[in-house]
A and B are shown apart, each in its own frame.
Chain A
């Protein structure tokens, strides 16, 4: 009996804490917990010239300022009464490794959990619970490399260097909720529970959400290119604001044995797929065998001018990956007069997914035709077919990176890409999104529509945006984050008795009157401005003529 009473007391007190915390929630406080030793990482005293708005004068200061800047971007858009602690450090990581980050823990069945028996990233769980569920550990781990030269400015003017702020925005988003935890190799749910991300993962081919699937079905789903989507309402609502119409498609038209759609990768150079649509025969390119960097190529790698340019002209050139960069192959295909180029994986990438093809900064500018990459098996099947033909086009009714219902596609290549499959938006998204697997150079520091869809997903998972005046408009979208939300229009001490309307911008009637007051040179100007405003409201049927008189009278008596 005592135990039961104690439990009830605990629950009641916890609820009280949560309720009080929720009532006082505001922009989430991100705490960068610097765990570097003196003179290392964030504490590196090496002098540094201020760059791109980063006023730090040492390398360590600039790293910390960049961290704080990325955290501030999320802080302005997420609210929580519980500070979000990022355990952060810079250490000497291996060449090629920029850094890592992720949530430190997963929580379920906590107070106020929207979904029971569902895993939540600990920072989100804390926010929803209104208390720190795991106070002995920080919420996000972040470890970045001292061996890599990042752009440390805050203005995104990163030139050729990876922009640290953008990388941090991406990795922090994973830690805040943009990732799922089910195994992609066994299909098992993490701890036997769905998580807040994969709860809304929908496989359009199977017609099932991930928690509804068997383990085997989840494994299959993880490699179902183009058919796995996130069925989150805010994301779906904002897809039309972000992703362009025209979903790229690549398919074999003939012979019948290979006809059908292919999984493909896109290029960062040349025209977009479908610009124009190309339907043509496929001809395997033949070029000289050359040696680059001590490695000898093949006649199929397209690394030198095509020997069969006449045969390729006007057709779709088929080229094998390897030896040289994608952009050079595509440049050679362009020079041969091909209508498009298809580059399929070589032996070294026999089981790899079709890659996204980066520009080398030299040859991409000379590529005038669409280019796509294919799996090796698909490339070989085309090469072996008799009189193959293909179409590289777009579905003009579907947005690039979404399905026909505007649900955002997730990255689901075959073969599966460890943990990054499913936990990113699809690489075919255009324009590019922060949460694609690669950090594309054209990303901004903006995390929501019309530039991005990351914030929308976090909000769908249970995060909320700071709303200081509680008017339902997030502060960063509110024309006045601290609106006068009193029920009636009160000017000075004069209550007009007229309802104070909340407009679609987040401003109220009283806010607009206050703006007139701020801009008026004298009382006469103020009264005149209020008259114009209220006349417009009458014309728009927002208030009646009698109410207009009441507001104008209150303005006249206000003495402003």
Chain B
């Protein structure tokens, strides 16, 4: 019986603690501390063009050069996933002293693939637009800047 009471008290305490913990997070203030600078100009508008065939054509199954639209789509994906924001991240400090920085969807690894002649694929995990562009043979196109 005594054990039962102890367990019941523990459950009540745990429930209260969990509720407080939730409140801590919910009420956590944002300090506005910024994340450090990284590839600062990554988000800037860069124009790329394709220099190697890596697109498997859905109609023919053949490997071909990317269209400009397809290049732009890759650049958009890499920019979004691999972004390393310089000043937009918010740092929350909890009452417990814990600090949490929401990465806002950035800092992701991005897995890319380009086809080999035999139908196999070469893959690479990249974290930035620049290294992804290099893997897929995309080069900056100054002519359309």
A residues whose Cβ falls under 8 Å from a Cβ of B: 7, 9-11, 13-14, 16-17, 20, 93-111, 119, 122, 125, 129, 131-137, 141, 143, 148, 160-162, 167, 170-171, 174, 179, 181-186, 188-192, 293, 325, 348-349, 352, 358-362, 417-420, 423-424, 437-439, 441
Contacts and interface: CB of A to CB of B under 8 A. Distances in A.
A106 B119 contact: no
21 contacts: A9-B20, A14-B17, A94-B76, A94-B77, A97-B112, A100-B77, A102-B103, A122-B100, A125-B98, A133-B25, A133-B98, A135-B25, A141-B108, A171-B111, A174-B109, A182-B36, A186-B38, A189-B36, A191-B101, A419-B82, A419-B127
B117 A362 contact: yes
Given A106-B103, A111-B96, A419-B127, A101 B39 contact: no
Interface residues of B, number: 76
Interface string B23-46: 011100000010111110000000
A479 to B, nearest CB: 33
Nearest to B129: A418
Contacts of A441: 120
Given A10-B24, A361-B116, A162 B123 contact: yes
A205 B38 CA distance: 24
A161 B119 CA distance: 8
A387 B51 CA distance: 35
A131 B108 CA distance: 24
A16 B14 contact: yes
A107 B102 CA distance: 9
A181 B107 contact: yes
Most buried by A among B76, B130, B131: B131
A102 B122 contact: no
Contacts of B36: 182-183, 186, 188-192
Contacts of A119: 101
B123 to A, nearest CB: 4
B128 A96 contact: no
Interface of B: 10, 13-14, 16-18, 20-22, 24-26, 33, 35-39, 51, 53-56, 66, 70, 73-74, 76-78, 81-82, 84, 91-92, 94-103, 105-114, 116-132, 134, 136-137, 139
A96 B74 contact: yes
Nearest to B26: A136
A160 B112 contact: no
Contacts, number: 244
Given A171-B111, A185-B38, A361-B117, A98 B123 contact: yes
Nearest to B52: A348
Contacts of A360: 116-118
Contacts of B106: 102
Nearest to B17: A13
A442 B66 CA distance: 29
Contacts of A148: 113
A110 B97 CA distance: 6
B96 A10 contact: yes
A142 to B, nearest CB: 9
A361 B100 contact: no
A135 B26 CA distance: 9
Contact of B98 (A129, A361, A417, A419): A129
Nearest to B34: A191
B110 A361 contact: no
Contacts of A122: 100
B100 A105 contact: yes
Nearest to B108: A102
B13 A16 contact: yes
A161 B73 contact: no
Nearest to B80: A100
Contacts of A132: 21, 25
A192 B33 CA distance: 10
Contacts of B24: 10, 14
Contacts of B109: 100-102, 170-171, 174, 179, 419-420, 423
Contact of B107 (A17, A191, A359, A419): A419
Contacts of A17: 14, 17-18, 21
A96 B113 contact: yes
A105 B102 contact: yes
B34 to A, nearest CB: 8
Contacts of B70: 94-95
Contacts of A191: 33, 35-36, 91, 99, 101
Contacts of B53: 293
Contacts of A348: 51, 137, 139
Contact of A95 (B16, B74, B92, B129): B74
Contacts of A437: 124-126
A192 B31 CA distance: 14
Contacts of A97: 74, 77-78, 110-112
Nearest to B70: A95
B59 to A, nearest CB: 13
Given A191-B101, A361-B119, A100 B108 contact: yes
Nearest to A12: B17
Nearest to A91: B77
Contact of B66 (A95, A100, A129, A417): A95
Given A14-B24, A95-B74, 5 more contacts: A100-B77, A160-B120, A191-B99, A360-B118, A420-B125
A419 B101 contact: no
A134 B25 contact: yes
Q: Please provide the 7 A-B residue pairs with the shortest distance between their CB atoms, ordered closest to farther.
A: A361-B118, A419-B127, A418-B128, A102-B108, A13-B17, A94-B73, A110-B98
